[in-house]
Amino acid sequence: MATETSTTADRRGIVERLRASPFLSELLSNRLAIIGLSIILGMVLLGVYARLFLDLGAISQSQLAAHPNKAPPGWLGSAALDQFLFGTDAAARDIFKRVLYGAWLALKFGVLVVGASTVLGISLGIIAAYYGDVVDNVVMRTMDVFLAFPSLLLALALVAIFGAGLSKVVIALTLVYTPRFARVVRGAALKVLEDEYIDATVALGARDPRVLVRHVLPNCLAPITVQSTLNFGLAIIDLAALSFLGFGAQAGTPSWGLMLKNGVSNGLLTGDWWLSFFPGLFLAVTVLGFNLLGDGMRDALDPRMRETVE
């Protein structure tokens, strides 16, 4: 090692640093986190596959003319094994394909909600930390009041204002999730501000929010990632819940929440379990994946926490 020149060290810089990072090694040694990560990657692959190769029209519109409705999974009945792997729903649509496409929708809208609330949260957190005093007080305490509301009820209240529909649900949930990120960022920003480093920069005449952004962002990247991962699962559940209650996806859309709604109204009494089982299974597994990874990341980030909060 000692003989290595500085250029090779530079070239290897990122890999070396990643390997040396206690965060990553801690994370990679956590079996549950690895399972979570694999689940998420699997869902991403399925979702992308569905988006690229499945015909949205064929899985959204009624197929009553072509297929039997509420047909059980092929491997249960006399039909061929690969015919309707997960059965068909009340409008004779192939549930397997719909569930796969649902993965794409869940991840897409999850990214929208979590991404937008991360950006908003970063802005609010940095503004609060930077201006301090009255601004900090009012902004953060308002966030706290928001946090005290249960997310689903708050989202419902916002839907009452904005109206129903997937795009409006995304806006509502973005507002619901923003405070969580604002808190994390503000905490990290305050820590950076306390550093003499920033003091020096500011003293040199660089009292500019841009300076703060440049110094704060790298420092709160890890907590933000943990927060995003943990909240991703919650956001997916809330998105599905709002569709389930009839405020999100439009009829026909292959979203997991809407499929579960259809399952409850069409399959419960007649025992057509596959209408509810498969969409819910995919939803739960995806959320579990994010929870496992998020938990593992939190532990890796702060080994002290692991002893008590696991």
Partner 1 sequence: MARYDPLLAWFRRRLRLVATAGAVGIVLGGIAAVVIAVLDDPTTASTQTFAIGTLAFGFGILGWSGSALAGRSIEGLQRRLDTNSDWTERDSRRAMTRLSGFGAGVMAGVVIVTPLLP
Partner 2 sequence: MVSKRFIAKRLLLLVPVLFGVATVVFAILHLAPGDPARVILGQRAPTQQVVQLRRELGLNDPIWVQYGRFLADTAQLDFGQSYQIAKGSPVWDVLADRLPVTIELAIYGQITAILLGIPLGVLSAVKQDSLTDHVTRIGALTGISVPIFWSGPLVLLVFATFLGWLPTSGRIGSTFFLEDHWVLFGTQLPLTGMVSIDTFILDTGAFVQSILYGEGLGAFASLTEYYASFISAVQHLLLPVLTLGIYSMALLSRMMRSSMLEVIRQDYIRTARAKGQGERITILKHGLRNALIPVITVIGIQFGTLLGGAVLTETVFGIGGIGQLLVAAIGATDYPLVQGTVLVFALLFTLVNLGVDVTYSYLDPRIQQ
Residues that bind partner 1 (CB under 8 A): 134, 137-138, 140-142, 144-145, 147-148, 180, 183-184, 187, 223, 298, 305, 309
Nearest approach in angstroms of CB 175 to partner 1 is 13
Number of residues that bind partner 2 (CB under 8 A): 50
Nearer to partner 1, 86 or 177 (CB): 177
| Of 247, 254, 297, 301, the one binding partner 2 by CB under 8 A | 247
| Count, residues in the chain | 310
Residue 125 binds what, of partner 1, partner 2, none (CB under 5 to 8 Å, by partner type)?
none
Contact assessment for residue 88 and residue 69, using Cβ atoms and an 8 Å cutoff: yes
| Residue type, position 242, single letter | L
Nearest approach in angstroms of CB 308 to partner 2 is 5
In the structure encoding, which two tokens stand for residue 289, read together? 């994946």
Nearest approach in angstroms of CB 4 to partner 1 is 40
Nearer to partner 2, 75 or 273 (CB): 273
| Residue type, position 92, single letter | A
Contact assessment for residue 184 and residue 120, using Cβ atoms and an 8 Å cutoff: no
CA 125 to CA 107: how far, in whole Å? 26
Nearer to partner 2, 118 or 243 (CB): 243
Other Cβ atoms closer than 10 A to 228: 24
Residue 141 binds what, of partner 1, partner 2, none (CB under 5 to 8 Å, by partner type)?
partner 1
Terminal Cα distance for the chain, rounded? 38
Confirm or reject binding of residue 308 to partner 2 (CB under 8 A).
yes
At 21, is the secondary structure helix, strand, or coil? coil
- DSSP calls for 42-98: HHHHHHHHHHHHS-HHHHHS--TTTS-TTPPPTTTSSS-TTTTTT-B-TT--BHHHH
Instruction: Please give the distance of CA 34 from its chain centroid, rounded to a whole number.
Output: 17
Measured CA distances, 164 to 155, 167, 231, 240, 245 (Å):
11, 8, 22, 13, 10
Nearest approach in angstroms of CB 138 to partner 1 is 5
Q: Which stretch binds partner 2 (CB under 8 A): 42-50, 70-78, 187-195, 232-240?
A: 232-240
Nearer to partner 1, 228 or 262 (CB): 228
What are φ and ψ of residue 94, in 5° steps? Answer: -75, 110
Confirm or reject binding of residue 160 to partner 2 (CB under 8 A).
yes
CA 257 to CA 260: how far, in whole Å? 5
Residue 258 binds what, of partner 1, partner 2, none (CB under 5 to 8 Å, by partner type)?
none
Confirm or reject binding of residue 87 to partner 2 (CB under 8 A).
no
Residue 128 binds what, of partner 1, partner 2, none (CB under 5 to 8 Å, by partner type)?
none
What's the count of helices (H) and strands (E) in the chain, helices before strands? 14, 0
Residue 280 binds what, of partner 1, partner 2, none (CB under 5 to 8 Å, by partner type)?
partner 2
Find the binding residues for partner 2 in span 129-148 (CB under 8 A).
148
- Chain residues binding partner 2 by CB under 8 A are 32, 148-153, 156-157, 159-161, 163-164, 233, 237, 240-241, 244-247, 257, 260-261, 263-264, 267-271, 273, 276-277, 279-281, 283-285, 287-288, 291-292, 295, 307-310
